[in-house]
DNA sequence: AAGCAAATCTGAACGCGTTCAGATTTGCTC
DNA sequence: GAGCAAATCTGAACGCGTTCAGATTTGCTT
């Protein structure tokens, strides 16, 4: 009944499989990589791979968690350095793109399962809620104590920025322009607009928007 | 070489398969219905089903086209009757939800492939561009000649409304409230906001927004 | 060291979407 | 109606993700 014992060799297996899998995904694409490929490359049987990851999508979930940690670390550094809202938001968004730029092909293959709250890999699913919360928290950090955004509007604004960032990622993975310059321009243009728009809009409309989203369950009432 | 001959029995086969397939999808879900089920229920062999629809997803594409036609017809009637912008937009959006309310389960299963421009069933793919154009045209019709929206801002506004409608559909298919009342409220609340917001915003910011989207290729320059 | 349960691994098997080489039917020409 | 090519259909086969009954290994207790 001692279920919390860590088997060093066991967790190492898990990490090993994940690394091998991500390498193969990047090299041959998500669909082009079979679970049998992954198991063979990791020196294990097919069943062993399924012992550590109950499905191919579970590997994607683990990938999310890895990227989220890396993004949080990369953002923290920038947030300690930059003072103004606009540049902080830019740093956070561009840091994410920098991190994901080698994985656009992989993300494109994965995107199919990122809608639809059913799918465990959906950005809206219960399984990803922790990662999602961390991602929104980064934007909350980026807003920080900037006085142009009233304190009680910050959670709403952070969630809006996260939603914008999802849309930008969708554009990013399909962006064929050199070095994804188009996405970079879209990020900067959107943020300019948002930073100009948000303060005036947040005033008169904030109460209505908040009520609307809360009724829909799309925005958590403050705890 | 006479490739344009219509075989009545042939096209009938196609329609028959599609009807059977949609019935099974509604009854047993998308994943719960196999191509073998469809072929058997249609009284054909597996290969014959693949002769008419090159993939399971192709059935989804045909379903899109059917729904789009039905929505256009339902909207046309309402648009001839209603004079003001707000009620026209409400009619169009609610007509769509009325039409799809029996298919929420099916749509949820399908949603997985509606992102990612790779997938042929993506709302952004080349394969669906015709359907997409028709859907945007409905919103253009709904705006009509309403004077609160400047003429040259109408295409942009129509596309924004279509994007909003996509988001609302995403909420709709996962809405577990009775009769999807929450979605209905969200539709009405969003449209109230948009109708109040759009005119003042479209003034000062229109040029910037249009330029931003055109550079990103997200909005076609006027032809 | 013997015993044992949990942790870890194996490989065959299943059902699925899809493909394909070839059979059959249809509509046409002479 | 004989001949023929295109249209339509057949069913076996393939590779995939996933499952599972059972084998093996590990760490602990006595």
pLDDT digits (tens, 9 = 90+) for B41-56: 999 999 999 999 999 9
Residues in chain A: 223
Q: Is residue A43 part of a domain?
A: yes
Q: Which range (A57-71, A122-136, B18-32, B207-221) has the least confidence? A: A122-136
User: Which residue intervals of B112-217 are DSSP H helices?
Assistant: 129-143, 154-173, 181-215
Q: Is residue B43 domain-shared with residue B83, that is, in the same domain? A: no
Q: How many CB atoms lie within 10 A of CB A207?
A: 9
The answer to whether B51 CB is within 7 Å of strand D is yes
Q: Is residue B22 domain-shared with residue B132, that is, in the same domain? A: no
Q: Do A216 and B185 count as a contact with CB atoms less than 8 A apart?
A: yes
pLDDT recorded at residue A40: 96
Q: Is residue B223 part of a domain?
A: no
Q: Is residue A37 domain-shared with residue A130, that is, in the same domain? A: no
CATH number assigned to the domain comprising residue B35:
1.10.10.60
**CA–C1' gap, B8 and C29, in angstroms:** 21
Q: Is residue B25 part of a domain?
A: yes
The answer to whether B171 CB is within 7 Å of strand D is no
Q: Is residue A119 domain-shared with residue A209, that is, in the same domain? A: yes
**CA–C1' gap, A51 and D26, in angstroms:** 16
Q: Please, what is the average pLDDT of chain A? A: 79
pLDDT recorded at residue B32: 92
Q: Is residue A109 domain-shared with residue A46, that is, in the same domain? A: no
Contacts of B115 in chain A (CB under 8 A): 111-112, 114-115, 170
**Range ranked top by mean pLDDT from A6-10, A106-110, B61-65:** B61-65
Q: Do A193 and B185 count as a contact with CB atoms less than 8 A apart?
A: no
Rounded CA separation A58/A50 (Å): 10
Judge contact between B168 and B190, C-beta under 8 A.
yes
Going by pLDDT thresholds of 50, 70 and 90, the confidence category of residue B119 is low
Query: Any chain B CB within 8 A of the CB of A174?
Result: yes
Contacts of B212 in chain A (CB under 8 A): 185-186, 189-190, 193
Question: Does pLDDT of B130 surpass 80?
Answer: no
- Model confidence pLDDT, tens digit, residues A53-104: 999 989 988 888 888 888 888 888 888 888 777 788 888 878 888 888 888 7
Judge contact between B36 and B27, C-beta under 8 A.
no
Rounded CA separation A60/A53 (Å): 10
Q: Is residue B2 part of a domain?
A: no
pLDDT recorded at residue B41: 96
Question: Does pLDDT of A7 surpass 50?
Answer: no
Percent of chain B clearing pLDDT 90 (strictly above)? 17
Q: Is residue A14 domain-shared with residue A87, that is, in the same domain? A: no
Q: Is residue A220 part of a domain?
A: no
Q: Is residue A148 domain-shared with residue A61, that is, in the same domain? A: yes
List bases, strand C, within 7 Å of protein CB: 6-13, 15-21, 26-28
Q: Is residue B1 part of a domain?
A: no
Q: Is residue A38 domain-shared with residue A107, that is, in the same domain? A: no
Q: Is residue B167 domain-shared with residue B190, that is, in the same domain? A: yes
Question: Does pLDDT of A5 surpass 60?
Answer: no
- Model confidence pLDDT, tens digit, residues A139-184: 787 877 878 888 888 888 888 888 887 887 777 767 778 888 888 8
Q: Is residue A142 domain-shared with residue A43, that is, in the same domain? A: no
Structure tokens at A141: 């950090």
Rounded to an integer, the average pLDDT of A205-223 is 76
Rounded CA separation B4/A66 (Å): 54
CA B5 to chain centre: 31
CATH number assigned to the domain comprising residue A78:
1.10.357.10
Query: Any chain A CB within 8 A of the CB of B126?
Result: no
**CA–C1' gap, B44 and C26, in angstroms:** 17
Query: Any chain A CB within 8 A of the CB of B109?
Result: yes
Q: Is residue A221 part of a domain?
A: no
Judge contact between A99 and A71, C-beta under 8 A.
yes
- Model confidence pLDDT, tens digit, residues B80-117: 888 777 788 888 878 888 888 888 788 877 776 655 55
pLDDT recorded at residue B1: 36
Determine the residue among A57, A105, A115 to mutate to test chain B binding: the one whose Cβ has the most chain B Cβ atoms within 10 Å. Answer: A115
Query: Any chain B CB within 8 A of the CB of A126?
Result: no
- Model confidence pLDDT, tens digit, residues A15-51: 999 999 999 999 998 899 999 999 999 999 999 999 9
Q: Is residue B85 domain-shared with residue B129, that is, in the same domain? A: yes
Q: Is residue B50 domain-shared with residue B119, that is, in the same domain? A: no
Q: Is residue B137 part of a domain?
A: yes
Judge contact between B80 and B86, C-beta under 8 A.
no
Rounded CA separation B108/A217 (Å): 18
Question: Does pLDDT of B126 surpass 70?
Answer: no
More confident residue, B223 or B44: B44
More confident residue, A107 or B2: A107
Segments forming the whole domain that contains residue B35: 7-54
Total domains in the fold of chain A: 2
């Amino acid at each position: 009944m001692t279920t919390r014992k860590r088997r060093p060799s066991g967790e190492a297996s898990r990490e090993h499989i994940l690394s091998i899998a991500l390498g193969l995904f990047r090299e041959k694409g998500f669909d082009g990589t079979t679970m049998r490929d992954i198991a063979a490359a990791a020196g294990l049987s097919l069943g062993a791979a399924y012992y550590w990851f109950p499905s191919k999508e579970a590997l994607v979930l683990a990938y999310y968690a890895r990227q989220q940690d890396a993004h949080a670390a990369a953002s923290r550094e920038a947030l300690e350095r930059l003072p103004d809202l606009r540049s902080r938001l830019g740093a956070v968004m561009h840091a994410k793109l920098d991190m994901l730029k080698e994985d656009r092909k992989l993300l494109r293959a994965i995107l199919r399962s990122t809608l639809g709250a059913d799918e465990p890999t959906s950005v809206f699913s219960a399984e990803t809620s922790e990662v999602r919360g961390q991602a929104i928290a980064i934007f909350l950090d980026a807003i920080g104590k900037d006085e142009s955004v009233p304190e009680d509007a910050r959670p709403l604004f952070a969630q809006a920025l996260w939603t914008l960032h999802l849309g930008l990622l969708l554009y990013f993975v399909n962006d064929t322009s050199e070095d994804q310059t188009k996405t970079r321009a879209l990020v900067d243009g959107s943020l300019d607009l948002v930073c100009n728009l948000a303060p005036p809009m947040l005033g008169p409309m904030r109460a209505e928007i908040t009520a609307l989203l809360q009724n829909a369950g799309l925005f958590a009432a403050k705890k």
